[in-house]
Structure 1
Amino acid sequence: MVTNSIDPILISFPESFETERLLIRAALWGDGAILNEAIGESLNELRPWMLFAKTMPTLEESEIFTREARLAFLKRDKLHMRIFNKSTGSFIGNSGLHQINWDTRNFEIGYWIRSSCSGYGYMTEAVNGITDFAIHTLEANQIEIRCSARNIKSAAVAERAGFTLDGILRSNCRGFDGELHDSKVYAKVRGAEF
């Protein structure tokens, strides 16, 4: 059992785990090419919601992001995770835990899926797997999912994964369209949902 007083960099946990159909693992150096390909395929769907999709990143930028994600994972600052189809080995999308508070064991899950893999339940399965990992391995007390109230698909994943809508923060962030957006805040809390 990990304790709250330990420096997070000393906390040991696996860098990968599996669900029924998926391998979910930490970012590794060299992942930039598969990440870049998926972003290119999905740019139009990602652009309204993801800062990195405002313009198509270069292959070098995707590899730099991957290496920074790897370092952040090792430092326990953010836990970027890559999602792969176990049977084909193909890259499906990106997820992970960020906005981490190790003292209170609160985490936020973020995610995106490549367009060709959308509609098969992969992201809901990945979110359920990451939630289980956060609860049982990282001893989470609270796990949140935040998304623009306009992002219907992201909200649907949170709802299918059994997260409770805690509230809507009105006009609290500026979308990439320049307009103010409401944010939906979903959560699972120890003692209530797990």
Structure 2
Amino acid sequence: MRPKTAADDPILVEVPERLDTPRLVLLAPRAGFGPALNRAVLDAQEHLKPWMPWAHETPSVEQSEAIARRLHGEFVNREHLAYYLHERDADGRPGRLIGGAGLHTLDWTVRRFELGYWIGPGHAGRGLITEVVAALTRLAFQQLRARRLEIRCDASNVASRKVAERCGFLLEGQLRGDALDVKGQVCDTCIYGMVSIEELRESASTPR
């Protein structure tokens, strides 16, 4: 049996633990992030409740620390490439943690990944998530050699849909009655897709 290489073993794929956008620093999860993550989740909890099932539980600092450590392990094993969003200080250092994003549902055989994101309400509407999506899209296609990238969201999540469309993702379909929302009601799922870096609009990295 020939030895595995980065071409067929995802754990050998080089993935940066830091990404920079014009206004943010994205850092992979690590031990010690619990307190900052806990503050960000509590700040965003009411804002995220309509869309995120995990926002309906109020975590302790210890639970947030455990989440950060588990996500660190998943990042190392290339099972879930999560990043936490930090404001960029004037000197370029990461400041306050204000949200999260990443690539999940990773199919390394096809090189198909799904992109997700969240941010606190005090930072919404500023184009920050658009920056994040652009950075993760470049990571997926340029460094991870993705063949396909998806954004899936509840059809009624207008804000999330606008981000996908602003970044050049194509609405490929709406699955009727595909999932249950946070209230247990049947809802539709929109699937946005992108199959090459050329589809990423240059305006995606421009602050709005």
| TM norm structure 1 | 0.93
Q: How does 1:114-193 map to 2 (within 5 A)?
A: 114-190=120-196, 193=199
Report Cα offsets for 1:96-125 as digits up to 9, x if no partner: 000001111111001100111111110011
Distance of 1:125 and 1:184 partners within structure 2: 21
Distance of 1:16 and 1:130 partners within structure 2: 11
Runs of 4+ off more than 4 Å: none
Q: Quote how far apart the aligned CAs of 1:71 are.
A: 0.2
Aligned to 2:84: 82
Is the CA contact 2:19–2:25 (under 8 Å) kept in the aligned structure 1?
yes
Is the CA contact 1:4–1:103 (under 8 Å) kept in the aligned structure 2?
no
Inter-CA distance 169–4: structure 2 relative to 1 (3 Å threshold): farther
Aligned to 1:19: 21
Aligned to 2:43: 41
Distance of 1:143 and 1:50 partners within structure 2: 21
Alignment gaps of 5+ in structure 1: none
Distance of 1:4 and 1:82 partners within structure 2: 25
Distance of 1:63 and 1:123 partners within structure 2: 24
Q: What root-mean-square deviation, in Å, do the aligned CA atoms of Structure 1 and Structure 2 show?
A: 1.6
The alignment of Structure 1 onto Structure 2 pairs a total of residues equal to: 192
Structure 2 residue aligned with 1:31, among 23, 30, 33? 33
Inter-CA distance 61–38: structure 2 relative to 1 (3 Å threshold): same
Distance of 1:125 and 1:58 partners within structure 2: 30
Distance of 2:179 and 2:15 partners within structure 1: 34
Distance of 1:80 and 1:45 partners within structure 2: 20
| TM norm structure 2 | 0.87
SS of residue paired to 2:199: coil
- Structure 2 letter corresponding to 1:184: C
**What is the identity percentage for the equivalent residue pairs of Structure 1 and Structure 2?**
39
Alignment gaps of 5+ in structure 2: 201-208
Aligned to 1:65: 67
SS of residue paired to 1:84: strand
